[in-house]
Every structure is written in structure tokens, then in C-alpha cells.
């Protein structure tokens, strides 16, 4: 099915494209690009707004265009909305004393700066639920409105992240408060938000009245990952930045398979739920990937990863360590990983083929 056909006749696909476009515009703003200069992006925006107010076609202000998308989502896509919920995100007293390192003290300071602009900094994932290990990323999210002040604080946090984890492959995520009535769970599943910790002295009240239910975002992410890595791309001689990036992406597959079936769950909870869809031999690759993560020794990472990385979200960087310097792992086990992963790819593709018929 062609892009043009889907955008004209498939409303769920158009919803996905609109949500993706809104996220792209938010990222542009957070990168201090306040006007649309990219010709390809301008064309896509005009294509989406062709049936709207004609003046919209000539707008290039990012914030105005985001607002226009919110209006379209409210008017035309309410049938894709599911009822959300209100909940409390616990304050950092729930983290525990062992986690209040100098870095977390810095994060608490950054949250105090954000609170001046009606925004909050939360930590989610393993550093929020106490399952963090040497391998773990620090998963931070700013919840607030789009403003220049937040951009500056976000950039400052990201510089400090590299000192904490020189191999971090993503920056601070952002959730736009104004989008809570049109919440996109691909930003962050509600169940993950509920298990987060706000770096404040008081809990954070969250109200998400509605969220969108669509399958294309998960389907394309999974398809791109599986087709992008048909065979295991890491060896003991691989650079550690890429190895960590790949392993982190692989461990997201179970959660996104469930999202494709309409169930957004906490990542750690996804593994026992998805295991039944794979053969024992194919699932072995997830177990081996988990073992690699457990054996990871972050202390062996070369400090040049900190000084020579300018863009935290850049997917290719200069490598200074190979995998065998950071993980005690033998070649035989890695060959077993490779064989199992090849089967995992085959079975994942089979699952995607079945699910594709539903969308």
C-alpha cells in the first residue's frame, strides 16, 4: 500500500503521521530551530494542512504549527482516543539513599530550575525502580511546556549526563504538557510514567484524560530494527558505544511487540508476556543479551568518550573501547548469541507479517 493511498484513505495511518510530525516539530523547537527551513518538511506540513485554513499553509513558526496539529487531532481523530487516567508520580525520597549520588544532587538542582517554569524532571526506568546495573542508561524526562528557558536547562542536563554515562545514546526526553489530552504512548507508556520518580521534594500530579491508540509507530520501529539488523551486528571486537546501542534497541522489541497488539506495558514486564510467542532457541538471544548487560563493567570505559562527543543523540561516534574490554565474555557464547538472534529475526518477521494484516 503506497504512502499516498494510506494518507488519503487510511485514517489511522494519517493519525500516526500527524503525531510523528508534531513530535518532529517539538524536537526542532528543543534544538532551537523556531522556524521551518527544511523544504521537504515544509512540503509535508502543507500536504497535511491542505484542507485547513489557507493561512496555515504559509506558517513556518514551529509553535503555531504544533497548535494547529493539536486542533486537527481534537476535531478529526477523537474516535482513536482511549480513556486515560490521573495518578501521582512519587518524589525522590522513594529513590533511596544509595542512589543520591552527586549526579542525582545535580538532577535535583536542575528540577528546581525547571519548576520556575512550571516544568518537572523525572527519572524513569531502572534508576526509578531500583533495578539499575553498571550498564543502565539514565532515562530522564522533562514534563512541561515548550519554552526557550527549558531548552537551556535541557542542554545543560545533557552535558552532565555524559559525565555520568559516557556511552549514553539518547538525550533527555520531553513530554509536552499541552498534549496530555492527545497523549501519544510512544512518547512514554502511561504505566512507565506511573513508575517514575520526580526529582522534587513533593509528588507530581499527572492528569492524562485521553491517549491515542495506533499501531503504525510500533510496526515501523520493529520493521526498521529487524530489517536493519538481519544478523547479529556485534562481535567481541565491536566498539562498545555501538554494542550498547544495539543491545538497548534489542531489549525494546518485546515491549513494542505488545504495543503493536494495543498493549503498552512497562518494559521489564514485557519479557514474560512476549516469551510465549518465540521458540526456546530464538528467545535465548534475549537471555544472552541480558547476560551481556549484567556483565557490563562501566568503569573500564575510556574517558575520551566524554570529551569527544558533542551531540548526545548522535548514533555514530569515535570508538575507544571494544566489547571484550568491558564485558567478560567468550567467543563461543557470542556465536551462540548470533545463531539464536538469526532465528529471533525470522520469528519476529513472522509475527510482523501476521499483525500487518490487521493494520
Of all residues in the chain, the percent with pLDDT exceeding 90 is 70
165, pLDDT greater than 70: yes
Nearest to 211 by CA among 284, 149, 264: 264
**324: which 3 cell numbers?**
571484550
Lowest mean pLDDT among 59-63, 85-89, 127-131, 288-292: 59-63
3-state secondary structure string across 114-135: HHCCCCEEEEECHHHHCCCCCC
| pLDDT on residue 3 | 63
- Region 135-158: mean pLDDT is 94
- From CA 10, how far away is CA 73, in angstroms rounded? 15
| pLDDT on residue 175 | 96
| pLDDT on residue 258 | 94
3-state secondary structure string across 58-97: HCCEHHHHHHHHHHHHHHHCHHHEEEEEEEEEEEHHHCCH
**φ and ψ at residue 251, rounded to 5 degrees:** -75, -10
- Reported as type and span, the H/E element at residue 22 is helix 11-30
**221: which 3 cell numbers?**
520501529
pLDDT band for position 22 (50/70/90)?
very high
Residue pLDDT, tens place only, 281-322: 999 999 999 999 999 999 999 999 998 887 787 888 999 999
Q: Where does residue 134 rank: exposed (0-12), middle (13-18), buried (19+ CB within 10 A)?
A: middle
Give the three-state DSSP class for 21: helix
**253: which 3 cell numbers?**
522489541
- Region 74-102: mean pLDDT is 84
Contact 193, 206 (CB under 8 A): yes
- Find all residues with CB under 8 Å of 124, minimum gap 6, and list them: 139, 140, 141, 188, 192, 193, 195, 196, 197
Residue pLDDT, tens place only, 40-65: 777 677 766 655 555 565 667 889 88
| pLDDT on residue 302 | 95
| pLDDT on residue 242 | 97
pLDDT band for position 196 (50/70/90)?
very high
pLDDT band for position 4 (50/70/90)?
low
pLDDT band for position 156 (50/70/90)?
very high
| pLDDT on residue 32 | 87
- Find all residues with CB under 8 Å of 44, minimum gap 6, and list them: 21
Nearest to 160 by CA among 304, 312, 320: 312
- Region 156-163: mean pLDDT is 92
Question: Which has more confidence, 104 or 110?
Answer: 110
| Cell 509535508, located at residue | 44
Contact 314, 155 (CB under 8 A): no
| pLDDT on residue 356 | 76
- From CA 116, how far away is CA 200, in angstroms rounded? 12
**327: which 3 cell numbers?**
564485558
| pLDDT on residue 359 | 66
| pLDDT on residue 146 | 94
Residue pLDDT, tens place only, 229-284: 999 999 999 999 999 999 999 999 999 999 998 899 999 999 999 999 999 999 99
pLDDT band for position 204 (50/70/90)?
very high
The overall average pLDDT reported for the chain is 90
Nearest to 237 by CA among 322, 328, 330, 334: 322
Amino acid at each position: 500500500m503506497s504512502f499516498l493511498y494510506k494518507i488519503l484513505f487510511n485514517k489511522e495511518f494519517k493519525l500516526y503521521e500527524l503525531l510523528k510530525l508534531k513530535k518532529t516539530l517539538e524536537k526542532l523547537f528543543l534544538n532551537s530551530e523556531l522556524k521551518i527551513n527544511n523544504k521537504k518538511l515544509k512540503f509535508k506540513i502543507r500536504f497535511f494542512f491542505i484542507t485547513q485554513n489557507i493561512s496555515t499553509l504559509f506558517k513556518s513558526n514551529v509553535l503555531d504549527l504544533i497548535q494547529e496539529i493539536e486542533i486537527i487531532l481534537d476535531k478529526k481523530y477523537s474516535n482513536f482516543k482511549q480513556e486515560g487516567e490521573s495518578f501521582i508520580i512519587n518524589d525522590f525520597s522513594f529513590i533511596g539513599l544509595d542512589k543520591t549520588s552527586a549526579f542525582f544532587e545535580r538532577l535535583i538542582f536542575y528540577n528546581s530550575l525547571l519548576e520556575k517554569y512550571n516544568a518537572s524532571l523525572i527519572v524513569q526506568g531502572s534508576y526509578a525502580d531500583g533495578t539499575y546495573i553498571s550498564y543502565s542508561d539514565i532515562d530522564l524526562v522533562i514534563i512541561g511546556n515548550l519554552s526557550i528557558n527549558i531548552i537551556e536547562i535541557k542542554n545543560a542536563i545533557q552535558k552532565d549526563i555524559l559525565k555520568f554515562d559516557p556511552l549514553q545514546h539518547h538525550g533527555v526526553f520531553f513530554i509536552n504538557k499541552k498534549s496530555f489530552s492527545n497523549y501519544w504512548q510512544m512518547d512514554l507508556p502511561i504505566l512507565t510514567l506511573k513508575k517514575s520518580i520526580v526529582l522534587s521534594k513533593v509528588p507530581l500530579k499527572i492528569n492524562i484524560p485521553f491517549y491515542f491508540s495506533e499501531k503504525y509507530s510500533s510496526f515501523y520501529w520493529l520493521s526498521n530494527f529487524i530489517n536493519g539488523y538481519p544478523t547479529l551486528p556485534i562481535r567481541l571486537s565491536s566498539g562498545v558505544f555501538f554494542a550498547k546501542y544495539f543491545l538497548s534497541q534489542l531489549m525494546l522489541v518485546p515491549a513494542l511487540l505488545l504495543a503493536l497488539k494495543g498493549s503498552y506495558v512497562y518494559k521489564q514486564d514485557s519479557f514474560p508476556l512476549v516469551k510465549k510467542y518465540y521458540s526456546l532457541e530464538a528467545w535465548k538471544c534475549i537471555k544472552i543479551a541480558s547476560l551481556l548487560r549484567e556483565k557490563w563493567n562501566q568503569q573500564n570505559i575510556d574517558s575520551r568518550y566524554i570529551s569527544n562527543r558533542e551531540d548526545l543523540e548522535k548514533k555514530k561516534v569515535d570508538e575507544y573501547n571494544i566489547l571484550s574490554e568491558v564485558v567478560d565474555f567468550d567467543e563461543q557464547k557470542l556465536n551462540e548469541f548470533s545463531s539464536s538472534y538469526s532465528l529471533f529475526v525470522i520469528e519476529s518477521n513472522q509475527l510482523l507479517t501476521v499483525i500487518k494484516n490487521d493494520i
